[in-house]
């Protein structure tokens, strides 16, 4: 198997008000990013339960990214502030368990930042692809 | 080794039962072996005299039992709380999990509890009796003719080695002297793991967590895990599972469990105490506590009733999730 | 099991150009629940919508998946189509295969592959959709305005003019607020009383407005359209309905040495008092801390002289309960305390005053009848130093000042300096500033006039220390532009004190579950797009309670808040968003974690009786979400450890199904 043939599977959770609209704008402007990125729409980034992220990894995702409104711009005023704390704690925990830190990311993308959305996804997909397949979260059982 | 004696506790309980302050006592009862202690409810002084135990193996944190017990009991329940138990007690009050009016809490001092597995590691199986003489345990076994003397400090439970506080943060009455919050170095082990490479950490946890048999003892003993129905028991949650259906399952279970108690965990160490596989589960909780302290300022769950846990709070200047990795660099 | 129909749109060549739509509709045919799958050139067209309606009938569809453009574009369209076809509009899911697929991927193969996966995710989700019905709640057509300053007055007048009844609650004995204490207003220099008092009279005379003066809000329950508010009318020991405001009682009152708060303690009032001549309501109030009759039963003079018989020493606090549809917060501001600013000698010298005290000193109705004098000896000051930003923009002095810019000080200081030079051309006037900020219509022109026409000496730099020496104030300051130290012997120093939200705002915010920033200013629902609404539905913001503001800005915000209130009260019923949180009370621990994160205060707790399997009953505290208040962000769903809290339309199981479909 050649490394460059490997296609990572990336799940992107996007808040309805900013980042999902930012992704739409990237589409409107025809700004390409890898088709490996699949977007799930949530009302707010604070709707993303760590369970969803782990479930994605469990089922074979290679990277999970959460996009929300910029801090201070949340449609629900404070949702993304909770996201920020929860994900900081969760990501740090995943890192503690030895899971590659490049597999998870939080990025703030506004409805006007179509270009940032595309650039973020390009960069994230590239970093995740460089790590290769997610084996650690998928296959953790000690197999001797 | 404990400064307070069984007799003193029975006397206190008898007095409170007699004057009607309490209707029953939540305490440690004799189990199958001397070191095997079972949480028990005593209704009378006589029951206590026969069945009540207080020794260096009374580690069980009773605060969690109050959730169910206060619902069912008429009158007040007497509960003995070691310093670390009082934090859980407060945290449960913060979460409105039981009615404070239905509890009479007696704070008792604690000199640290012993870990039976450490004793067994020294004297092997077949322990027939353990008696404490000063700071020494005298252990007799079925296989040794001579009793074995063990320094109590050598078999102190892991969580007591890093005891965070000898201070009671909640009680109606205090027996003995109150202590202080200690500078315990309890995060040293977490820091040691953090200093490893990701591969080493992964190997460490793979080795530890793969031993998990999903017996749920950690969850069942945890005073923060008092949910009416645990997500892992709920078919609607999508993560319900009793046994490891696939290789990821136990990891997901422990991450989610640690996340659910993050900011609420008082670091009482019950999870690791009850784990039959000796997985150092408390390190996961301590990692969250350490991170929370470092990211958002020191916070001790249960130190006071009504405090707002850091993960359900925020400031506009919080650090970004991407920054948690390169704080040092 | 759902019966799902899949409709793949070509969007002309927008989608069909990079996605094999035929392949997508074929592939999705085999997904669980799918009984019908097709594709068409323009799904959003009339013909496309008819195709959906017919398919619903023909295949008895219960769920619809449209693979098309962004849901932000046509979700509403297809929901209407579903409703027209007789199925619940929330049984529709959109797979965005245009903006997030065909437009960003160039290759037909990858585009088609991804479109199929997005379609599968939508099918997986719709299989778990449930019909949702938006809740309805009635609207009480009455508004409450808390605070009777210019912000509250303007909001109340505007709402009342639209025909809705309004109550104003003001904690002082009269409405008018800070503006009533001002002398002239920038940048036009018309007198504050001349423009404010007619408005106060309008309020008093407006049939739709009730004034609860000397009153406070003590409890707020309910939610948008249906607030239950308790108002405490403090005992003023004068029957408001009878008092004519003649003032005979005030003249006879022997207690004459009570510091007059309206003049900031620079003169005295009586124990029974009317704050100022144009007070509304013009009714006397007895200060219970000063009145001899109330303190020890000795006096009673005022009752004897009152021809109307309005004095009532036995009056008690009264609690009034009223229902409101909307609440406007207009609690305003106060200058911060200068006690901690020792360097400016405010506590040591009477001749170091705040700008608000300066307003009273120059006001014709003030303690000096408008003559600018030194408070210490009544002499005319010849050298006046104005110090700006005292406690504002003060990053290093958080314990006594504020980090933010108080916004109004630059302009009123220019006004003070200009008026002083205008009336007393023999006075030398210095203004020390960090920056002069004049963003407002005709503001910069005004400031330049102060410098150019009136010769006010503006010095960029801060005053380091003020030391009273003899009858002078030794001012040490730095001139940053000339780069030298200045020593000025001043007769009067005026400090432009930072302003802060009124102290009553914080407890009020708690009652309203309205959010505040760290400085206790109320937070708006959106800083740009919803500046006069609080995130808490039905609570609106007017004036300086939301941030420092001058009068023109306050009045425009007051009008904007009124417009929002009118828009709300004009409705007979409120239709909620059905995608709201819902707690499963069997699983709920009642731990309050969810209420901690709810930005809207939509979650309350109740003790509920549960029947246990062993036939006993158990009373447990459980969460209840008010669907009229919940906005559906989902913060609570993640905070909830037991998973009892879920979000309709974005349920845990639905999102999990999408994840599974994508990762298959």
B96 and B214, same domain (yes or no): no
Look at residue A143 and tell me whether its pLDDT is greater than 50. Answer: no
Distance of CA C642 to the CA centre of its chain: 34
> Residue B119 corresponds to which tokens in the numbers above?
């004793």
> Residue B160 corresponds to which tokens in the numbers above?
């007591």
Provide the 3-class DSSP secondary structure of residue C89. helix
- Please tell me the distance from the alpha carbon of residue C515 to that of residue B135, in angstroms, as a whole number: 56
Question: Is the CB of residue B314 less than 8 Å from the CB of residue A76?
Answer: no
Instruction: Note the pLDDT of residue B35.
Output: 86
Look at residue C151 and tell me whether its pLDDT is greater than 80. Answer: yes
Q: Which CATH architecture has domain C235-316?
A: 2-Layer Sandwich (3.30)
Look at residue B275 and tell me whether its pLDDT is greater than 80. Answer: yes
Range list of β-strands (E), C238-379: 258-259, 268-269, 272-273, 285-286, 318-324, 326-329, 333-335, 352-354
Please state the domain count of chain A.
1
A55 → closest Cβ in C637, C647, C656: C656
Question: Is the CB of residue C266 less than 8 Å from the CB of residue C375?
Answer: yes
Closest chain A residue to C533, measured at CA: A77
B140 and B242, same domain (yes or no): no
The parent domain of residue B219 ranges over 185-329
Q: What is the DSSP letter of B181?
A: B
- Please tell me the distance from the alpha carbon of residue B7 to that of residue B12, in angstroms, as a whole number: 9
Look at residue B202 and tell me whether its pLDDT is greater than 80. Answer: yes
Domain definitions of chain C by residue range: 4-126, 134-231+321-332+502-573, 235-316, 336-499, 581-648
Please state the domain count of chain B.
3
B134 and B24, same domain (yes or no): no
B62 and B173, same domain (yes or no): yes
Look at residue C307 and tell me whether its pLDDT is greater than 90. Answer: yes
- Residue A124: which pLDDT band, with cuts at 50, 70 and 90? very high
Q: Which of B143-152, C49-58, C576-585 has the highest mean pLDDT?
A: C49-58
Nearest to A83 by CA among B154, A75, C462: A75
B23 and B170, same domain (yes or no): yes
Question: Is A136 domain-assigned?
Answer: no
Provide the 3-class DSSP secondary structure of residue C7. strand
Look at residue B245 and tell me whether its pLDDT is greater than 60. Answer: no
Rounded mean pLDDT, B60-73: 90
Chain A partners of B311 at a C-beta cutoff of 8 Å? Answer: 82, 85-86, 89
Residues 6+ apart with CB under 8 A from C297: none
Provide the 3-class DSSP secondary structure of residue B105. strand
C588/B231 Cβ within 8 A: no
- Residue C43: which pLDDT band, with cuts at 50, 70 and 90? very high
Rounded mean pLDDT, C461-468: 94
Question: Is A140 domain-assigned?
Answer: no
- Please tell me the distance from the alpha carbon of residue C346 to that of residue C264, in angstroms, as a whole number: 14
- CATH code reported for the domain at C336-499: 3.50.50.60
B298 and B170, same domain (yes or no): no
- Residue C35: which pLDDT band, with cuts at 50, 70 and 90? very high
Nearest to C332 by CA among C158, C468, C147: C147
B248/A142 Cβ within 8 A: no
Phi/psi of residue C526, nearest 5 degrees: -150, 130
Question: Is the CB of residue A84 less than 8 Å from the CB of residue A71?
Answer: yes
B95/C653 Cβ within 8 A: no
Distance of CA C31 to the CA centre of its chain: 49
Residues 6+ apart with CB under 8 A from A117: A19, A22, A23, A25, A26, A31, A33, A67, A109
Instruction: Note the pLDDT of residue B323.
Output: 86
Is some CB atom of chain B closer than 8 A to the CB atom of A142? yes
Instruction: Note the pLDDT of residue C79.
Output: 96
Question: Is the CB of residue C316 less than 8 Å from the CB of residue C235?
Answer: yes
Rounded mean pLDDT, C174-196: 95
Rounded mean pLDDT, C199-217: 97
B170 and B280, same domain (yes or no): no
Domains C235-316 and C581-648 share a fold: yes
**Number of C-beta neighbours around residue B2 at 10 A:** 20
B137 and B275, same domain (yes or no): no
Looking at residue A38, which CATH number applies to its domain? 3.40.50.960
**Number of C-beta neighbours around residue A1 at 10 A:** 5
The parent domain of residue A65 ranges over 7-131
Residues 6+ apart with CB under 8 A from C188: C442
Chain B partners of A104 at a C-beta cutoff of 8 Å? Answer: 321
Paired sense of beta strands C428-433 and C383-390, if any: parallel
- Please tell me the distance from the alpha carbon of residue C518 to that of residue C402, in angstroms, as a whole number: 11
Nearest to C231 by CA among C241, C244, C216, C220: C216
Look at residue C312 and tell me whether its pLDDT is greater than 80. Answer: yes
Contacting A residues, span 17-76, partner chain C, CB-CB under 8 Å: 20-21, 23-24, 26-28, 30-33, 35, 38-44, 46-52, 55-56, 59-61, 72-73, 75-76
- Please tell me the distance from the alpha carbon of residue C581 to that of residue C627, in angstroms, as a whole number: 7
Instruction: Note the pLDDT of residue B247.
Output: 59
B74 and B195, same domain (yes or no): no
Q: Measure the CA dihedral C120/C123/C129/C135, to 10°.
A: 90
- Dump pLDDT digits (tens) for B74-92: 899 999 999 999 999 999 9
Does CATH number 3.90.1170 belong to domain C4-126? Answer: no
Q: What is the DSSP letter of A138?
A: T
Could you check whether the bond before residue B202 is cis, i.e. omega within 30 degrees of 0?
Answer: no
Question: Is A138 domain-assigned?
Answer: no
Nearest to C143 by CA among C582, C562, C470, C605: C562
- Dump pLDDT digits (tens) for C119-128: 999 999 999 9
Question: Is A64 domain-assigned?
Answer: yes
**Number of C-beta neighbours around residue C210 at 10 A:** 17
Average pLDDT in chain C? 94
- Dump pLDDT digits (tens) for C615-636: 888 889 999 999 988 999 999 9
B320/A93 Cβ within 8 A: no
Rounded mean pLDDT, B284-303: 95
Rounded mean pLDDT, C98-103: 95
CATH class of the domain whose range is C581-648? alpha beta
Question: Is the CB of residue C444 less than 8 Å from the CB of residue C396?
Answer: no
Provide the 3-class DSSP secondary structure of residue B152. helix
Question: Is A141 domain-assigned?
Answer: no
Which of B14-28, B242-256, B289-303, C464-478 is least confident?
B242-256
B60 and B127, same domain (yes or no): no
> Residue C126 corresponds to which tokens in the numbers above?
């719709």
Instruction: Note the pLDDT of residue A4.
Output: 52
| pTM confidence score | 0.78
Q: B with C: how many residue pairs have Cβ under 8 Å apart?
A: 62
- Could you give the angle at which helices B282-296 and A79-96 cross, rounded to 10 degrees? 130
A35/C634 Cβ within 8 A: no
B148 and B168, same domain (yes or no): no
Could you check whether the bond before residue C281 is cis, i.e. omega within 30 degrees of 0?
Answer: yes
Q: Which CATH architecture has domain C134-231+321-332+502-573?
A: 3-Layer(bba) Sandwich (3.50)
User: C542 vs chain B: nearest CA distance in angstroms?
Assistant: 24
Rounded mean pLDDT, C654-660: 94
Question: Is the CB of residue B128 less than 8 Å from the CB of residue B46?
Answer: no
Question: Is A142 domain-assigned?
Answer: no
Question: Is the CB of residue B227 less than 8 Å from the CB of residue C641?
Answer: yes
Question: Is the CB of residue C363 less than 8 Å from the CB of residue C184?
Answer: no
Q: Is the ipTM of this complex over 0.85?
A: yes
**Which residue bears the tokens 């969810």?**
C594
Contacting C residues, span 68-107, partner chain A, CB-CB under 8 Å: 70-73, 96, 98-101, 103-107
């Amino acid at each position: 198997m050649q490394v460059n043939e490997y296609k990572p599977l990336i799940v992107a959770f996007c808040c309805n008000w900013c980042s999902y609209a930012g992704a739409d704008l990237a589409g409107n402007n025809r700004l390409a990013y890898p088709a490996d990125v699949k977007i799930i729409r949530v009302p707010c980034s604070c709707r993303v339960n760590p369970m969803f992220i782990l479930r994605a990894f469990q089922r074979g995702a290679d990277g999970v990214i959460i996009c929300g409104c910029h801090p201070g711009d949340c449609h629900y005023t404070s949702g993304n502030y909770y996201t920020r704390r929860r994900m900081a704690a969760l990501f740090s925990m995943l890192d503690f368990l030895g899971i590659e830190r490049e597999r998870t990311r939080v990025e703030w993308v506004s409805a006007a930042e179509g270009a940032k959305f595309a650039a973020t996804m390009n960069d994230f997909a590239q970093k995740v692809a460089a790590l290769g397949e997610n084996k650690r979260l998928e296959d953790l059982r000690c197999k001797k | 080794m404990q400064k307070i004696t069984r007799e003193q506790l029975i006397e206190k309980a008898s007095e409170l039962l007699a004057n009607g302050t309490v209707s029953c006592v939540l305490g440690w009862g004799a189990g199958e072996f001397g070191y095997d202690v079972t949480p028990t409810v005593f209704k009378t002084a006589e029951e206590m005299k026969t069945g009540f135990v207080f020794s260096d193996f009374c580690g069980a944190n009773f605060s969690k039992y109050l959730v169910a017990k206060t619902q069912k009991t008429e009158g007040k329940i007497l509960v003995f709380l070691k310093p670390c138990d009082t934090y859980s007690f407060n945290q449960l009050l913060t979460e409105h999990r039981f009615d404070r009016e239905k509890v009479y809490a007696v704070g008792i001092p604690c000199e640290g509890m012993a870990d039976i597995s450490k004793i067994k590691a020294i004297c092997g199986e077949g322990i027939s009796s353990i008696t404490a003489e000063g700071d020494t345990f005298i252990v007799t076994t079925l296989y040794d003719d001579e009793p074995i003397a063990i320094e109590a400090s050598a078999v102190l439970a892991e969580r007591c080695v890093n005891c965070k506080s000898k201070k009671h943060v909640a009680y109606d009455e205090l027996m003995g002297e109150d202590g202080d919050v200690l500078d315990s170095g309890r995060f040293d082990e977490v820091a040691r793991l953090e200093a490893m490479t990701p591969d080493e950490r992964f190997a460490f946890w793979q080795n530890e967590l793969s031993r998990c048999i999903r017996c749920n003892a950690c969850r069942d003993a945890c005073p923060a895990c008092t949910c009416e129905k645990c997500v892992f028991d709920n078919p609607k949650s999508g993560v319900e599972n009793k046994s490891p259906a696939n290789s990821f399952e136990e990891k997901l279970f422990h991450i989610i469990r640690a996340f659910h108690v993050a900011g609420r965990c008082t670091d009482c160490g019950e999870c690791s105490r009850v784990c039959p596989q000796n997985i150092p589960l408390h390190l996961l909780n301590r990692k969250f506590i350490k991170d929370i302290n470092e990211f958002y300022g020191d916070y001790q769950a249960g130190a006071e009733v009504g405090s707002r846990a850091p993960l359900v709070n925020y400031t506009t200047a919080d650090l970004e999730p991407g920054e948690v990795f390169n704080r040092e660099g | 099991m759902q019966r799902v129909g899949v409709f793949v749109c070509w969007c002309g060549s927008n989608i069909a150009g990079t996605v094999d739509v035929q392949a997508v509709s074929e592939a999705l045919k085999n997904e669980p629940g799918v009984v019908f799958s097709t594709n068409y050139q323009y799904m959003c067209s009339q013909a496309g919508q008819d195709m959906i309606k017919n398919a619903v009938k023909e295949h008895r569809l219960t769920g619809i998946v449209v693979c098309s453009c962004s849901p932000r574009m046509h979700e509403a369209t297809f929901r209407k189509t579903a409703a027209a076809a007789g199925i619940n509009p929330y049984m529709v899911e959109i797979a965005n295969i245009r903006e997030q697929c065909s437009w960003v991927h160039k290759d037909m193969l990858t585009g088609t592959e991804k479109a199929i996966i997005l379609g599968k995710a939508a099918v997986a989700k719709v299989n778990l959709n449930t019909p949702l019905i938006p809740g309805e709640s009635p609207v009480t057509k009455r508004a409450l305005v808390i605070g009777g300053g210019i912000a509250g007055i303007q909001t109340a007048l505007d709402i009342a003019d639209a025909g809705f009844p309004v109550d104003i609650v003001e904690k002082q004995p009269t409405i008018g607020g800070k503006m009533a204490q001002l002398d002239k207003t920038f940048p036009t220099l018309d007198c504050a009383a001349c423009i404010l008092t007619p408005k106060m009279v309008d309020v008093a005379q407006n049939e739709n407005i009730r004034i609860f003066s000397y009153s406070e809000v003590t409890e707020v329950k309910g939610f948008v359209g249906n607030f239950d508010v308790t108002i405490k009318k403090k005992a003023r020991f004068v029957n408001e309905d009878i008092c004519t405001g003649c003032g005979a009682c005030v003249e006879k009152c022997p207690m004459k040495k009570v510091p007059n708060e309206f003049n900031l303690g620079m003169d005295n009032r009586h124990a029974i008092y009317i704050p100022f001549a144009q007070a509304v309501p013009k009714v006397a109030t007895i200060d219970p801390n000063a009145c001899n009759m109330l303190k020890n039963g000795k006096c009673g003079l005022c009752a004897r002289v009152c021809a109307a018989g309005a004095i009532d020493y036995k009056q008690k606090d009264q609690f009034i309960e009223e229902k409101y549809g909307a609440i406007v917060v207009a609690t305003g501001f106060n200058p911060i305390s200068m006690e901690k600013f020792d360097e400016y000698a405010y506590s040591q010298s009477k001749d170091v005053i705040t700008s608000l005290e300066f307003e009273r000193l120059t006001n014709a109705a003030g303690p000096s009848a408008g003559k600018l004098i030194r408070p210490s000896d009544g002499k005319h000051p010849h050298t006046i130093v104005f110090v700006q930003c005292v406690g504002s923009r003060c990053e290093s002095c958080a314990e006594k000042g504020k980090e933010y810019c108080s916004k109004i000080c630059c302009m009123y200081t220019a006004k003070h300096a200009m008026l002083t030079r205008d009336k007393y051309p023999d006075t030398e006037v210095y203004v020390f500033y960090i920056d002069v900020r004049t963003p407002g219509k005709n503001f910069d022109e005004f400031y330049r006039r102060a410098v150019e026409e009136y010769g006010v000496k503006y010095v960029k730099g801060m005053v380091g220390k003020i030391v009273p020496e003899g009858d002078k104030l030794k001012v040490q300051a730095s001139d940053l532009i000339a780069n030298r130290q200045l020593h000025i012997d001043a007769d009067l120093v005026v400090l432009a004190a930072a302003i802060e939200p009124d102290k009553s705002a914080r407890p009020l915010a708690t009652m309203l579950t309205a959010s505040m920033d760290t400085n206790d200013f109320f937070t708006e629902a959106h800083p740009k797009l919803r500046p006069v609404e609080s995130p808490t539905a039905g609570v609106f913001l007017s004036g300086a309670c939301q941030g420092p503001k001058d009068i023109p800005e306050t009045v425009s915000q007051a009008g904007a808040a009124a417009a929002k209130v009118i828009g709300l009260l004009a409705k007979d019923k409120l239709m909620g968003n059905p995608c709201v949180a819902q707690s499963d009370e069997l699983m709920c621990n009642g731990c309050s974690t969810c209420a901690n994160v709810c930005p809207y205060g939509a979650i309350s707790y109740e003790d509920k009786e549960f029947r246990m399997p062993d036939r006993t009953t158990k009373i447990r505290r459980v969460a209840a979400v008010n669907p009229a208040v919940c906005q559906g962000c989902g913060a609570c769903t993640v905070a909830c450890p037991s998973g009892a809290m879920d979000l309709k339309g974005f349920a845990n199981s639905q999102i999990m199904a999408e994840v599974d479909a994508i990762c298959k």
